[in-house]
């Protein structure tokens, strides 16, 4: 009975430990946070980009708390008169670093990773899991399901082992009562027991080993393929602007605010003056009331009662959602104006998004797949009419061939990389 109680207590202790472990937060590495928030202006080395390199950054700041405050809002931190912050401000042409919507733990994770030149990923807290989109909701769910299955599997293995020990103990008691002498086997440690079992079940061990190796390779492959992919990324913006209300319910056309989408490479973020075309008169929202509209007035130093603009204007620090690598060329006007591609094809149903998120993976494979499948609307489109004539007159042309972007050079490397 003593052996029975001992095993039961051991089982409960292990279950408690496993439960605590399984409920702990999933780590997110500083490397992904750096790529999602800092890589546009900084390098994880001592080389300069737009701003200084981040290698050895801790040694350059006397106080980590000051460094965190600087990253969160450099404009406000400069007002403290910190000597080193003002030196950086002067050294880099009085360029203001955009405020970063990161928690203290996330900033420390980036610093830990970049301080050594980006050698190895450093774990941070669960907040990073929701802040970065490189993995997306589906990856988070699949990881969660895997760990749940792993915990359940461990508990079942432990339960089977404990019940097996209990069964042997009870059988020994029954044999002892009936006068049956059983052979006393030496007590083996868990490691010795495992080695004995493995030597007697080599095929099973080989299959389990193959499954573990295959799973590890799959996880590694998925991890590598997910680098720089932030599908599902939906940061909290300084003003809670709802596309669902503006583009959906009020049916404001995308080009009204993003006026550059038909004229230039960039779609452009509308200035607060565009907002004032409506909100000089509409001073209360249907959902947030006056709270969010007041933030527009504050940015423009506008008094809604006197309708007078003051001199203390400050830009709204929007957080970029869609970000392509620097070596990729993408022109909005070419796709929207010439190619007649709908905004929703890349950005999803923005008119139903209260908070904008990255809808598509924006990977090279995703773009190439679109170029291969998307047919060109050449009718009444002088840009493509001549190309279509060359396409149908080509000796390799077969009746029924689709006039896609890929057929007219849309798969050439130099179209997007130069």
Summarize pLDDT for 107-147 with one digit per residue, the tens. 888 888 888 777 544 443 334 333 333 334 444 455 667 77
What is the span of the domain harbouring residue 334? Answer: 243-352
| Same structural domain, 188 and 126 | no
- Looking at the structure of the chain, the number of domains it has is 4
| Same structural domain, 140 and 127 | no
Mean per-residue pLDDT of the chain: 82
How far out from the chain centre does Cα 401 lie? Answer: 39
| Same structural domain, 142 and 17 | yes
| Same structural domain, 211 and 289 | no
| Same structural domain, 248 and 345 | yes
Is 359 buried (19+), middle (13-18) or exposed (0-12) by CB count in 10 A? buried
Using the 3D structure, point to which of 158, 190, 225 is the last residue of a domain.
225
Neighbouring CB atoms inside 10 A of 37's CB total: 24
Tell whether pTM > 0.85. Answer: no
Q: Which residues contact 406 (CB under 8 A, 6 or more apart)?
A: 368, 371, 372
What pLDDT was estimated at residue 128? 36
What pLDDT was estimated at residue 212? 95
User: 354: which DSSP letter?
Assistant: S
pLDDT digits (tens, 9 = 90+) for 77-100: 888 888 888 888 888 777 778 778
What pLDDT was estimated at residue 130? 38
Does a structural domain hold residue 285? yes
Does a structural domain hold residue 236? no
Does a structural domain hold residue 238? no
| Same structural domain, 338 and 271 | yes
Phi and psi torsions of 50, nearest 5°: -75, -40
Does a structural domain hold residue 230? no
Does a structural domain hold residue 359? no
DSSP-assigned beta bridge partners for residue 302: 309
User: The domain that contains 61 carries what CATH number?
Assistant: 1.10.760.10
CA distance 314 to 368: 40
Would you place residue 29 in the very low, low, confident or very high pLDDT band (cuts 50, 70, 90)? confident
Does a structural domain hold residue 357? no
CA distance 120 to 171: 54
| Same structural domain, 104 and 145 | no
Q: Which residues contact 219 (CB under 8 A, 6 or more apart)?
A: none
Nearest to 40 by CA among 291, 230, 231, 251: 230
| Same structural domain, 157 and 287 | no
What pLDDT was estimated at residue 131? 38
How far out from the chain centre does Cα 329 lie? Answer: 22
Would you place residue 166 in the very low, low, confident or very high pLDDT band (cuts 50, 70, 90)? confident
Would you place residue 10 in the very low, low, confident or very high pLDDT band (cuts 50, 70, 90)? low
Using the 3D structure, point to which of 177, 198, 225 is the last residue of a domain.
225
| Same structural domain, 250 and 346 | yes
Question: To which residue do tokens 């190309």 refer?
Answer: 387
How far out from the chain centre does Cα 210 lie? Answer: 31
DSSP-assigned beta bridge partners for residue 289: 285
Residue 271 token pair:
């200035």
Question: To which residue do tokens 């940015």 refer?
Answer: 299
Which SS3 state, helix, strand or coil, does residue 303 take?
strand
Q: Which segment, 140-149, 174-183, 282-291, is predicted with the most confidence on average?
A: 282-291
How far out from the chain centre does Cα 327 lie? Answer: 20
Which residue has better confidence, 391 or 14?
A: 391
Is 411 buried (19+), middle (13-18) or exposed (0-12) by CB count in 10 A? middle
Would you place residue 205 in the very low, low, confident or very high pLDDT band (cuts 50, 70, 90)? very high
Using the 3D structure, point to which of 131, 159, 187 is the last residue of a domain.
131
| Same structural domain, 153 and 247 | no
| Same structural domain, 326 and 378 | no
Does a structural domain hold residue 231? no
Contact present, 302 and 310 (Cβ < 8 Å): yes
Phi and psi torsions of 289, nearest 5°: 70, -135
Does a structural domain hold residue 233? no
Percent of the chain scoring above 90 in pLDDT: 38
Residue 154 token pair:
């461990």
DSSP secondary structure, 116-141, as one string = TTS-S--B--THHHHH--SSHHHHHH
Residue 178 token pair:
């009936």
| Same structural domain, 347 and 408 | no
Residue 79 token pair:
């007002």
Nearest to 408 by CA among 396, 391, 394: 391
Contact present, 316 and 240 (Cβ < 8 Å): no
Q: Which residues contact 263 (CB under 8 A, 6 or more apart)?
A: 333, 337
What pLDDT was estimated at residue 125? 37
pLDDT digits (tens, 9 = 90+) for 224-277: 888 888 899 999 999 999 999 999 999 999 999 999 999 999 998 999 999 999
């Amino acid at each position: 009975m003593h052996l029975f109680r001992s095993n039961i207590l051991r089982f409960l202790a292990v279950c408690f430990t496993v439960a605590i472990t399984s409920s702990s937060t999933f780590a997110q590495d500083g490397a992904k946070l750096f790529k999602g928030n800092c890589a546009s202006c900084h390098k994880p080395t001592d080389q300069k980009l737009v701003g200084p390199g981040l290698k050895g950054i801790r040694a350059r700041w006397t106080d980590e708390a000051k460094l965190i405050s600087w990253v969160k809002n450099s404009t406000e931190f400069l007002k403290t008169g910190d000597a080193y912050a003002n030196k950086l401000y002067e050294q880099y042409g009085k360029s203001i670093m955009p405020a970063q919507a990161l928690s203290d733990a996330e900033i420390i994770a980036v610093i830990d990773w970049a301080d050594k030149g980006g050698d190895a990923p450093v774990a941070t807290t669960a907040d990073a899991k929701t802040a970065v989109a490189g993995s997306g909701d589906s990856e988070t769910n699949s990881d969660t399901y895997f760990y749940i299955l792993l915990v359940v599997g461990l508990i079942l293995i432990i339960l089977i082992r404990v019940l097996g020990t209990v069964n042997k103990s009870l059988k020994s008691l029954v044999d002892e009562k009936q006068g049956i002498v059983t052979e006393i086997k030496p007590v083996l440690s868990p490691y010795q027991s495992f080695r004995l079992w493995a030597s007697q079940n080599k095929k099973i061990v080989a299959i389990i080993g193959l499954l573990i190796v295959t799973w590890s390779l799959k996880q590694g492959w998925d991890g590598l393929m997910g680098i720089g992919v932030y599908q599902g990324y939906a940061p909290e913006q300084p003003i809670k602007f709802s596309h669902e209300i503006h583009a959906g319910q009020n049916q404001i056309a995308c080009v009204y605010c993003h006026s550059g989408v038909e004229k230039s490479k960039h779609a452009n973020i509308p200035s607060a003056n565009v907002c004032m075309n409506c909100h000089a008169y509409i001073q209360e929202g249907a959902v947030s009331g006056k709270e969010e509209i007041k933030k527009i007035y504050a940015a423009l130093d506008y008094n809604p009662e006197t309708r007078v603009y003051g001199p203390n204007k400050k830009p709204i620090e929007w957080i970029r959602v869609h970000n392509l690598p620097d070596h990729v060329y993408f022109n909005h006007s070419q796709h929207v104006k010439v190619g007649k591609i709908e905004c929703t094809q890349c950005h999803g149903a923005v008119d139903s998004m209260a908070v904008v998120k990255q809808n598509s993976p924006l990977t090279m494979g995703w773009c190439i797949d679109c170029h291969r499948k998307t047919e060109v609307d050449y009718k009444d489109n002088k840009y493509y009419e001549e190309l279509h004539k060359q396409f149908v007159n080509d000796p390799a042309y077969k009746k029924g061939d689709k006039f896609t972007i890929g057929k007219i050079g849309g798969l050439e490397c130099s179209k997007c990389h130069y």
